[in-house]
Amino acid sequence: MVIIMEKNAEKTQIGRVIEKLDTMGFKIHKSKGVDHTILGVIGNTSKIDIRDLQILPGVTDVYRISAPYKLVSREFQHKDTIIKIKDVEIGGDEVIVIAGPCAIESKEQTMIIAEHVSKAGAKILRGGAFKPRTSPYSFQGLGEEGLKIIREAADKYSMLVITEVMDKEQIPLVEEYTDIIQVGARNMQNFTFLSALGGSGKPVFLKRGISATIKEWLMSAEYILSGGNRDVIMCERGIRTFETYTRNTLDISAIPVVQKQSHLPVFADPSHGTGLRNKVIPMARAAIAAGADGIMIEVHHDPDNALSDGAQSLLPDQFDSLMDQSRIIANVIGKKIANRKE
Ligand code: PEP
Ligand code: MN
Ligand 1 atom nearest residue 208's Cα? 9
**Per-residue pLDDT averaged across 260-276, rounded?**
98
Fold of 2-63: Alpha-Beta Plaits (3.30.70)
Superfamily name with CATH number, domain 83-332: Aldolase class I (3.20.20.70)
Query: Does pLDDT of 46 surpass 90?
Result: no
Q: Is the CB of 297 under 6 A from ligand 1?
A: no
**Ramachandran bin of 31, using left for φ above 0, alpha for ψ from -120 to 50, beta for the remaining angles:** beta
Q: What are the tens digits of pLDDT across the range 120-133?
A: 999 999 999 999 89
Please tell me the predicted confidence (pLDDT) of residue 342. 80
Q: How many angstroms separate the alpha carbon of residue 157 from the centre of ligand 1? A: 23
Q: How many angstroms separate the alpha carbon of residue 135 from the centre of ligand 1? A: 14
Query: Does pLDDT of 67 surpass 90?
Result: no
Please tell me the predicted confidence (pLDDT) of residue 151. 98
Q: Is the CB of 255 under 6 A from ligand 1?
A: no
Ligand 1 atom nearest residue 271's Cα? 2
Q: What are the tens digits of pLDDT across the range 170-216?
A: 999 999 999 999 999 999 999 999 999 999 999 999 999 999 999 99
Predicted TM-score of the model (pTM): 0.94
Q: Is the CB of 300 under 6 A from ligand 1?
A: no
Q: Determine the Cα–Cα distance for residues 237 and 219; give it in Å rounded to an integer.
A: 17
Return the domain boundaries, the chain: 2-63, 83-332
Q: What are the tens digits of pLDDT across the range 127-169?
A: 999 998 999 999 999 999 999 999 999 999 999 999 999 999 9
Burial 24-55 (b: 16+ CB within 10 A, else e): eebebeeeeeeebbebebeeebeebeeeebee
pLDDT level of residue 338 (50, 70, 90 thresholds): very high
- Establish whether domains 2-63 and 83-332 are of one fold: no
